[in-house]
């Protein structure tokens, strides 16, 4: 079975915990080498955050559970990379329109 190497999530979270706290918590999960949390939008009660996680063997259910414990909700899974190595997107003719 292939392992998840990179996952990008659109997450809705309350203002607390902070992005720093959320990123640090996710980075402690087994199989995770790094986490990037980018603030996308803020409203009165919540924040929309793009969460990028990379590692040799990301356990998606553990990511879901951790985000739920932090009061966050996954709106969508925007990218998943799996297999023996990471594969970067390649621009094609259709991408230039």
Q: Answer yes or no: is 70 within a domain.
A: yes
Which pTM value belongs to this model? 0.90
pLDDT tens across the length of the chain (97 residues): 579 999 999 999 999 999 999 999 999 999 999 999 999 999 999 999 999 999 999 999 999 999 999 999 999 999 999 998 888 888 887 776 6
CATH of the domain at 50: 3.30.70.1340
CB distance 38 to 50 below 8 Å? yes
Q: Answer yes or no: is 56 within a domain.
A: yes
Q: Answer yes or no: is 92 within a domain.
A: no
Provide the pairing of β-strand 34-42 with 73-82: unpaired
Q: Answer yes or no: is 35 within a domain.
A: yes
Q: Answer yes or no: is 57 within a domain.
A: yes
pLDDT score, position 91: 82
The residues near 74 (Cβ < 8 Å, ≥ 6 apart) are 9, 10, 11, 64, 67
How many domains in the chain? Answer: 1
Burial 26-56 (b: 16+ CB within 10 A, else e): beebeebeebebeeeeeeeebbebebebbbe
pLDDT score, position 35: 98
């Amino acid at each position: 079975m292939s392992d998840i190497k990179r996952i990008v999530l659109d997450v809705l979270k309350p203002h607390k915990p902070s992005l720093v706290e959320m990123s640090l918590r996710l980075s402690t999960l087994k199989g995770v080498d790094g986490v990037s949390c980018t603030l996308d939008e803020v409203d009165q009660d919540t924040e929309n955050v793009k969460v990028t996680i990379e590692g040799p063997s990301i356990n998606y259910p553990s990511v879901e559970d951790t985000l739920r414990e932090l009061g966050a909700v996954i709106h969508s899974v925007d990218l998943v990379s799996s297999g023996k190595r990471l594969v970067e997107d390649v621009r094609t003719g259709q991408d230039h329109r």
